[in-house]
Each structure stands twice: as structure tokens, then as C-alpha cells.
Amino acid sequence: MTGQVIEKNIYLQFNDFLSYLKDVKKSSDNTLQAYERDLSKFLEFARENSISSFEEVKVDTVARYKKHLADIGLSTSSVSRSLSALRSLFQYLLSSGTVEHNPAREIPNDKADKKGPQVLTAKEIELLLSQPSLNDLKGIRDKAMLELLYATGIKVTELINLNIDDVNLQLSFVRCVNKDKERFIPLYPLAVKSLLTYMEKARKILIIHMDEQSLFVNVSGERMTRQGFWKILKNYAQSAKIYKDITPHTLRHSFAAHLLENGADIHDIKEILGHSDISSTQRYAQFLKNKMKSSYMKYHPRA
């Protein structure tokens, strides 16, 4: 009976919040997925603790939930993100008159240690890019995606949104459109070769409809998804025995750090990455300074 009440109350209120984000706030699919992912942890916690509605949630409930997230191994930043999602949900419930206060506001986030961007070494990049097999269609496609991501530093959303007309292999560049802005990013020869192989040998077989515009498609012939690429990357990282916490953004970070490390102008990197503010790009310079200091302190005989 309790489970039925929880299903009726909490889940309906949760779905109302998602509908509000989608229909009123016009949130992106990525934002909706992030809220659903983070808040699902609280729904599970509510089920386990027989909480039938959000009206029952008090400050001590949120405090116990915060401790629960830490106990199951979530990082400080992940706990903070989940609490922020819960605060937003309660703010919506408060404005709609469902609850009388926002208990999540009483529980502060813990300060997370500031970490530099996760960057792969040049050797790790070579190892990762060598994983896809060129003996099958999927491997040819995956090789092209990984090469393109590291060649350009674009975001995974930008990667999967590329259309066939956004790539000019003759002039070796890719056109990246983001909202009302576009930028043209050069491609190194190996990336051009991988893309050419993919387009000539794999894509024309993978697509179902000849008028398909998506550059990268899945085995169903439809546009590649973020989740699909994420799984692909994780599998190759595992097969390469790279045990860092790799995400699609790791290749973007590595691209920027390696360019800067090899003498590229920081303003050029800013333009390639599409940063609106130079301060976003400068963190890579700070990362390299910290890396150099760490190496000095580790290897200098008197450090």
C-alpha cells in the first residue's frame, strides 16, 4: 500500500516538475536528463524510507539524504549537484503551493576541492585512438569520431549534431554551429583520413535513408546520441586500460592542454573552443603551471 501511495504522490509531483522544466522553462534535453538522473536518487531514498509525498520531507530528511549520498560513494561535487536539483524541485513545489517551505535550502553544499581539468597524456591519447578496429563498420566510425573530437576540441553535443555538409575534407576543416554562432576548425591529416575512410566505407552502409544528413549514425542508421557515444568512449578507455575518469569532455580538455603545452597562442585556442571569455581558456594555462610545479616538487633532489 505504501508503495502505491509513493507512486501516486511523489512520482506525480516529480513528473509535474519535469513537465514544468520542459514546457515552461524550455529546458534542453540534456538539462532534463540531468535533473531526472540526479532526482531519481532521491526518489529511491524516499521509497526506501517510506516517504509518500514531498510535504513529508523535513530539513533532517534532506540532511539524512545528503549523508546517504556520501555513504554510497558519491563525490562532494556529485552530492552538491544532487542537492541543487532537489532545491530546484522544492522551489517549484513551493511556488505551486504544494509545500510550505523548501527544506533543501537549509542544507548547505560542502566545498569541493578545486581540481584542474582531467587531461590525458599524449601517450594515453595515442593508445585510446588506436583501440577501434578498422576491420568493421562500427570501428571505422568510432575511429573517425574519436579522431575528430581530439582534432577539434568540440563538445560531444557539437560532435553528434554535425551534418554531412559541415565537413570539408578537401580544405580540411569542420564547421561547428552553436546557437547563432559558427566557427571553422582545421583538421589534421590523420583526422581527415579517418573521416574519409568512414564516409566512403562505413557511413553509406550504416545509413538507412539516402537523404540522411547526420554525419555520425548508430547501427540503426539514426543520429548518434550522447549516451551512445559515452558508452563507446567508456568501452575503449577500458580496453586501453586507461583508469582515469574519462568523459567526452576529457578529449576537449586534452586538446586544449596539449595545444597550449606545445606553444599555441591562448587566444587561438579560445576561438577554436568557442569560449566567450578568455578566463575559461586560461584555466588550461593554470593547469600546466600546476603540473610543472608538481613535477618540480616530485623530482627535484632538494624539493
284 is catalytic: yes
End-to-end CA distance of the chain: 66
How far is the C-alpha of 239 from the C-alpha of 243, rounded, in Å? 10
Which residues face 182 on adjacent strands? Answer: 177
How far is the C-alpha of 215 from the C-alpha of 162, rounded, in Å? 6
Question: DSSP secondary structure string, 190-252?
Answer: HHHHHHHHIIIIIIHHH-SSTT--BSSB-TTSSBPPHHHHHHHHHHHHHHTT--S---HHHHH
65 is catalytic: no
Pairing of strands 167-168, 181-186: unpaired
Catalytic choice (68, 275, 283, 291): 275
Tell me the three cell numbers of residue 256.
586544449
252 is catalytic: yes
Catalytic choice (252, 253, 258, 270): 252
Catalytic choice (26, 115, 179, 298): 179
- Please return the burial class of 266, using the count of CB atoms within 10 Å of its CB with bins 0-12, 13-18 and 19+: middle
Which residue numbers are catalytic?
Answer: 179, 252, 275, 284
